[in-house]
Structure formats: C-alpha cells, structure tokens
Amino acid sequence: MTRTAVLKNLRILDPSRNLDEKGSIVIENGRIAAIGASAQNQGAPEGAEVVDGRGMIAAPGLVDARVFVGEPGAEHRETIESASRAAAAGGVTTFITMPDTDPVIDDIALVEFVLKNARDKAIVNIHPAAALTKGLAGEEMTEFGLLQAAGAVAFTNGRNPMHNAQVLRRAMTYAREFGSVISLETRDKYLGAGGVMNEGLLASWLGLSGSPREAELIPLERDLRIAGLTRGKYHAAQISVPESAEAVKIARERGANVTCGASINHLTLNENDIGEYRTFFKLSPPLRSEDDRKAMVDALARGEIDIIVSSHDPQDVDTKRLPFADAADGAIGLETMLAAALRLHHSGEVPLIRLIDALSTRPAKIFGLDAGTLAPGARADIVLIDPDEPWLATKDTFVSRSKNTPFEDARFTGRAVSTYVAGERVHSLG
Amino acid sequence: MHFFPHRHLLGIKGLTEQDITLLLDRADEAVKISRQREKKTSTLRGLTQINLFFEASTRTQSSFELAGKRLGADVMNMSVGNSSVKKGETLIDTAMTLNAMHPDVLVVRHSSAGAAALLAQKVSCSVVNAGDGQHEHPTQALLDALTIRRAKGKLSRIIVAICGDVLHSRVARSNILLLNAMGARVRVVAPATLLPSGIADMGAEVYHSMEEGLKDADVVMMLRLQRERMSGAFVPSVREYFHYYGLDAEKLKAAKEDALVMHPGPMNRGVEIASEIADGPQSVIEQQVEMGVAVRMAVMETLLVSQNQGGRA
C-alpha cells in the first residue's frame, strides 16, 4: 500500500547516526522520506495522515535476535503469526527465529517454510536462523551456503550447546567463506550438569542442584579461541555472568570477530526472583546473583555486551506446572523486552540511546539485517515509545499464545505506543 | 497458649521457636499415649489422612500411618513410586484426584524439591511434607529435636555435629534450620565434595575432620551416604570414606562422654557408622523411631485441630 504519513513533534533517537533531536518523520511508500528537525516544518503532503507524537520517542523498530516459536511442531505454544503480533505489541519489527522446532530447521525446505509463513501471516519481519548441525545433534554441519542463499541469517545450535570442538572448528572454518554468523549458547556438558539454578546459597537452601558460572565461561573461552583460530564470525547468544562479557572483550582485543548478547531477563531479574520454586523464572542459563546482574548492566552500558534479546520461549502449563527441577526452561519476552529495558534507563544505569542501539541497531548490524536505522530512504520500521507511561503487565494483556512470563503483574514505566512496519501501523495502543 | 499459625507443614523454614516448642510439647504428650496399653484416641475421628508417597519409604510411611491411626483418623496409603507416568504429571494429576475425595491432610513424599509446596497450592486440605528431594524433611528434624530434648533437657547452647552427606540431605537442611532456631550450635563434618555451596552461610560451622568436628559435641548425628555416591563420584571408596568419616569408637572419643549418637536411618553399617556404635550405649537410634510417631501425631493434631477451631471461630 502506498501511503503517506507524518509523525511530528517527536524526540528522534537513531543510534545508527548517533542522532537525538526533536523533529518529524515523513513516511512515503513504506520508506522514510524525510526525518529530523529539518522535516518538522516541511508541512504534510496532501492526503497524509498526521500523527502528533508529543512526548513520544521515535526509534528504529526493535530487532530481536533470539525468538523461539512453536511452528512447526508446537503451534499450541506459539505460531509464527502469534509471535509476530506479540512482537508488534512490544515494538519489535524484526526478529530471528531459532531452529529448535519439530522438525528442526536444518534444511532449505524448512527455511522456505518459515519464510513463506512469515510472508503470508506475520505482521513484522521474520528471518530464520538455521541449525548449525543436522538435527542440532552437534555432529554434522548443515548446508551453510544453500541455507543462507535460501534466507537463513545465522547458524546456531539453539538451546543445545556445541560440545565437540573439532566439529565447531570445521563449521566455523567452512562458514567463513560465506560470511555466516555462528551464534551459540555455551554450557559445559559435565560441569554443573543437572544444575537447574544458579549455584550458591539460595540453591543450597532450596535443595536444587546448582550450575556454576564456570559451566558457561569455560566453553565460551574455548569457543572464543576457535573463533580466533578460524577468523569466523562468532556471537555468544546469551551470556549470564559479567566474566563472559569480559572474555568476549578480551577476545575482541586479540582481533577475533566476536560479539555477545544477553537476555532482558538476565539484565533485570536475579535468582532471588525464583522465591519458592517459581518455574516461570527457570531459565537456561539460570538467573544469577544481583551482583552479577549489576555488573552485566554495566557491561551493557559500556557496549561490551552488544545486544539485548528477549529469548522469547513460549511454554505451557504442561511444561511449567511441575516441580522446579522437572519444569522446562524459558520465558516469553517479546512484549515486555522494551518495557523491562526502560527500567535500566529510568534507573540511570544505561543511556537511552545505548539501549536502543542494543535493541535495534547493533543486532541489525551483527546479523546483516536491513533494519535498525531511521536514515532517510530506510524502510519505515519505527517504534513510538512513551517512556513515562505507567502500566501493569497483567496476564490477560499478553498477546502471545503462552503466558509464561516472569513479569506477570509487574509494574512498568514506558512502553511501545505504536509500531510501524514498512510504514504500516501494526500496533497501536488505544 | 501459643497458637500455631500454619495450615501446612512444608518445612522448618518459617517456623519460630514458639512454633517448634509447641509441637515438641505436644509430642511429649503423644509419647505418653503411645506407651499406654490403650493407644488409640479419638482426636481426629472422622478425618481422613492420605499418605502419598512418590518415593518408596516403608519407615516414614508406617510412622505416619501409625500416627494417624493412633489419633483415630482414617488412613489411606497411596504408593505411586513405581508408576511409569512422568513424575510431575502424576503429582498434579494425582493431587487433583485426591483433592476431590476431600481428605483432611495429605502427607507427601516426592523426589523433587518443592513438590510439597506445589501440591499445597493445588489442594484444599493441609499438606505435610514427608521429604521433598534435597529440600526439607521437617518431621525428621522435629523427631531428632524431641529425642535430644528428652535426653539433654534442652536444645539451646548444645553442640550438634551433623556428619556425612550434607549436600544431598534434606534431613541436614531441616536440622540446621531447626537447631539454629532453637539456639543450638551446629557443626557439619564432611569432605568438601559432600557439602553444599555456601554452607558456611547456612548457620553451621564447617569441619573436614571428625576429630575436630566432634570435639566436645553433645550430639553426633550421622547421615546416610547412598551407594551410588560412594565409589569415585563424590568420595573415592567406601574404605576411604569409613576411614576418615565413618563413626567408630575411636572417633567418638572426641565428643563428650555422654554424647548422643543419632542416625535418621536406614543405616549403612560399616560405611558411615560402625555396628558397635549403632548398637552401643550412646546410640538413641531406636528412640528416634519412637519419637517419630509421637512427633507426627503432634503435627497432625496441631494442623487439623487448630484448623478446625479456626473454621468454627
């Protein structure tokens, strides 16, 4: 649809150009025709829809690099379509799906399946990450070249860490030819195996087996060495302790092409939230201590943690309403990622422009996506944020098919008021 | 008189010194009943107690059964330990089914920590935790406390050394909580591989030598070490474990002359405790079994009778 709209009286935050100024955005044919203070007094073209955005922040639509959907295989938890609506409600205009479905996305036909469903049913941009190894089994590499040509934007082993260093080395060496990003979560196969929460006093009192930070850190340091050895692009998908950010920083200083992300949960929650066995807080990696969380936030503010992901992982009562150790890991997050991230802005811990960078511009850059910018000519993927609106995240307000949120009944300040994808408004409050 | 403010007994955590004292005082009364020729009372007549054991435990289950019967309750045993259904599903599903039968108290044993608490959220009767994973086993700690109090006359300022596999022990966790609440001094004695992370902040002094850990102790509480943990996984061998941590006459000398020797059972003779000690004059292991029934009578009477009174008020 070709339409013209003018969003005016906005505070425009565009980390891609380090821009923070008052002004307007003119949208034409799904693209940004003009933006900024200079566009403010241009006047609206004939027939244009005019939106007064007084008090609002305009930012590039958020880019979430780690989203689990239930399609194919577990559509009762989440479909591509329902996830896209949850994304729009949270200001996310682009996300990357994880290949941990049934069947696993390790074949061209399955990449095409995801893209076709996304094209036909989704209201935001969706890009699949394909499996790094066949069936996510960690043994045989997939067809990186062909999968990438079909539209896969990254390769990952999803929830499964890579245990075999030799397989990883070959995969990274081979993938380098195609410039592919390899995104992995690290968890030692033996150290802390069976651990269901952060190792420490709290786990000891609850009688739950703990997972030490070293279980994440040791294989991460190994992977970073392999990244240096192969000169491939490596992304640590979800770190949970500041020592991991430190390790990535050191590897980067050695010249390795490495980046890292953290889930919003690990930046805003800690192990104490588990209380008396609340399974919605059971995550992998586990929530860590408050000291860890604070240090992670500092690393995010310094840009050492590159990006924030939701790690949106829909689970239902069958997998969550169990004794803690038996319950599945994971929490939904598409709808609350922005609001939770704004807590870090309101607390003064992370500047707003760095948050938007970590939520949009940097992930777009790392995964080579056409997103994360409000530059003239860019596709008009925009989120309008009211940074000060107080709201309560009650269960019935969630769009996602699954309700396993750690933020049930949480009080937030600030949220996505409108979301635009290619100039179309796909979400609007009230 | 102190009013017991809890509907369930899920753990020692959350109980005050007064709560514990009330339960122990009532248990003392229950001991008298159990020693009479006529052992049955009508305190819980007409009430239904269901023992729901997802893990087999003949001893604990019989103890609860006897306690209920002596109070006049109708007792039903459900052993679901051998069910092929996935554990978690059985827990919730079974709970809902049982709840529909209107029991007054559910006694639950489960292999997962937090199982009793989860169940308590889903049913409308009182729940007694008879052991949940490595979390808590409150009635064991209460019966241990009753045994000690009857022998020593008090719990405050006595030194209790808990020895062995603290890491995997719900008995140890409940005992550490209870003894601290009552003002006792708690020590743990074990190889570092059998101690939980953060143990030094759990209210216990940490020792790795029996000689030092037992010095001047009033009570030596031995814990069971499971067979699969004995050969290389947590300790190198039974022989080495017994050499350093098994309770024998030589090691017991470090404790006070009249120190009590306790064990929650079932014992591995020759692994954590020598037979001569288990059957020796300082052993109160048999008394522990007797106190078990009394404590469980006191717990159920307290939960059910005070609950009923609350309902009438």
pLDDT reported for residue B92: 84
How far does the CA of residue A388 sit from the closest CA of chain B (Å)?
A: 36
Q: How many Cβ atoms are within 10 Å of A246's Cβ, its own excluded? A: 15
Predicted TM-score (pTM) above 0.90: yes
Residue B291 has pLDDT above 50, yes or no: yes
pLDDT reported for residue B94: 83
> Is residue B39 annotated as part of the catalytic site, yes or no?
no
pLDDT reported for residue B313: 31
Q: Provide the chain B residues 120-139 that lie in CB contact (below 8 A) with chain A.
A: 132-136
* Three-class DSSP labels, chain B: CCCCCCCCECCCCCCCHHHHHHHHHHHHHHHHHHHCCCCCCCCCCCCEEEEEECCCCHHHHHHHHHHHHHCCCEEEEEECCCCCCCHHHHHHHHHHHHHCCCCCEEEEEECCCCHHHHHHHHCCCEEEEEEECCCECHHHHHHHHHHHHHHHCCCCCCEEEEECCCCCCHHHHHHHHHHHHCCCEEEEECCHHHCCCCHHHCCCEEECCHHHHCCCCCEEEECCCCHHHCCCCCCCCHHHHHHHHCECHHHHCCCCCCCEEECCCCCCECCCECHHHHCCCCECHHHHHHHHHHHHHHHHHHHHHHHHHHHHC
> Is residue B137 annotated as part of the catalytic site, yes or no?
yes
Residue B41 has pLDDT above 80, yes or no: yes
Q: Cβ–Cβ of B199/A200 closer than 8 Å?
A: no
Q: Which structure tokens are listed for A321?
A: 């309403």
Q: Cβ–Cβ of A207/B170 closer than 8 Å?
A: yes
Task: Report yes or no: A409 and A397 within 8 Å, Cβ to Cβ.
Answer: no
- Cβ-Cβ contacts under 8 Å, A327 against chain B: 88
Q: Match 């000060």 to its residue by tokens.
A: A388
Q: pLDDT tens digits, residue range B94-129?
A: 888 889 999 999 999 999 999 999 999 999 999 999
How far does the CA of residue B8 sit from the closest CA of chain A (Å)?
A: 15
Q: Look at residue A66 and give its three-state secondary structure.
A: strand
Q: pLDDT tens digits, residue range A176-225?
A: 999 999 999 999 999 988 899 999 999 999 999 999 999 999 999 999 99
Catalytic residue among B2, B39, B40, B59: B59
Q: Residue B84 — pLDDT band, cuts 50, 70, 90?
A: very low
What integer best gives the mean pLDDT of chain B?
A: 92
pLDDT reported for residue B82: 55
The span from the CA of B131 to the CA of B135, in Å, is 7
pLDDT reported for residue B232: 80
Q: Residue B88 — pLDDT band, cuts 50, 70, 90?
A: low
Q: Cβ–Cβ of A205/B197 closer than 8 Å?
A: no
Nearest CA in chain A to B111: A323
Q: Cβ–Cβ of B88/A322 closer than 8 Å?
A: yes
What integer best gives the mean pLDDT of chain A?
A: 96
Q: pLDDT tens digits, residue range B217-246?
A: 999 999 999 887 887 889 999 999 999 999
Q: pLDDT tens digits, residue range B251-268?
A: 999 999 999 999 999 999
pLDDT reported for residue B306: 65
How far does the CA of residue B134 sit from the closest CA of chain A (Å)?
A: 4
Task: Report yes or no: A383 and A335 within 8 Å, Cβ to Cβ.
Answer: no
Q: Provide the chain B residues 62-121 that lie in CB contact (below 8 A) with chain A.
A: 86-89, 91-92, 110, 112-115, 117-118
How far does the CA of residue A202 sit from the closest CA of chain B (Å)?
A: 8
Q: Which structure tokens are listed for A373?
A: 């910018």
Catalytic residue among B8, B26, B109, B185: B109
Strands (E), A227-293: 233-236, 257-263
- The helix (run of H) or strand (run of E) holding residue A112 is helix A108-121
- Cβ-Cβ contacts under 8 Å, A199 against chain B: 197
> Is residue B150 annotated as part of the catalytic site, yes or no?
no
Q: Which of A155-169, B127-141, B221-235 comes out lowest in average pLDDT?
A: B221-235
Q: Look at residue A9 and give its three-state secondary structure.
A: strand
Q: Cβ–Cβ of B173/A325 closer than 8 Å?
A: no
Strands (E), A248-306: 257-263
> Is residue B170 annotated as part of the catalytic site, yes or no?
no
Q: Cβ–Cβ of A323/B115 closer than 8 Å?
A: yes
Chain A interface includes B178 (CB < 8 A): no
> Is residue B243 annotated as part of the catalytic site, yes or no?
no
Residue B310 has pLDDT above 50, yes or no: no
How far does the CA of residue B30 sit from the closest CA of chain A (Å)?
A: 31
Instruction: Kindly list the distances between the CA atom of residue A116 and the CA atoms of A36, A102, A104, A134, in Å, as whole numbers in the listed order.
Output: 36, 17, 16, 22
Nearest CA in chain B to A206: B135
Residue B80 has pLDDT above 90, yes or no: no
- Cβ-Cβ contacts under 8 Å, A323 against chain B: 87-88, 91, 110, 112-115, 118, 132-133
Task: Report yes or no: A93 and A63 within 8 Å, Cβ to Cβ.
Answer: yes
- Cβ-Cβ contacts under 8 Å, B91 against chain A: 322-323
Q: Residue A42 — pLDDT band, cuts 50, 70, 90?
A: confident
- Cβ-Cβ contacts under 8 Å, A208 against chain B: 113-114, 133-135
- Residue A49's φ and ψ, nearest 5 degrees, are -80, 130
Q: Residue B132 — pLDDT band, cuts 50, 70, 90?
A: very high
Contacts of A353-357 with CB under 8 Å at 24 or more apart are A353/A13, A353/A15, A353/A18, A353/A20, A354/A15, A354/A300, A354/A301, A354/A303, A355/A308, A356/A13, A356/A15, A356/A59, A356/A60, A357/A15, A357/A303
Q: Cβ–Cβ of A207/B198 closer than 8 Å?
A: no
Q: pLDDT tens digits, residue range A296-343?
A: 999 999 999 999 999 999 999 889 989 999 999 999 999 999 999 999
Nearest CA in chain B to A211: B197
Nearest CA in chain B to A196: B113
Q: Cβ–Cβ of A276/B117 closer than 8 Å?
A: yes
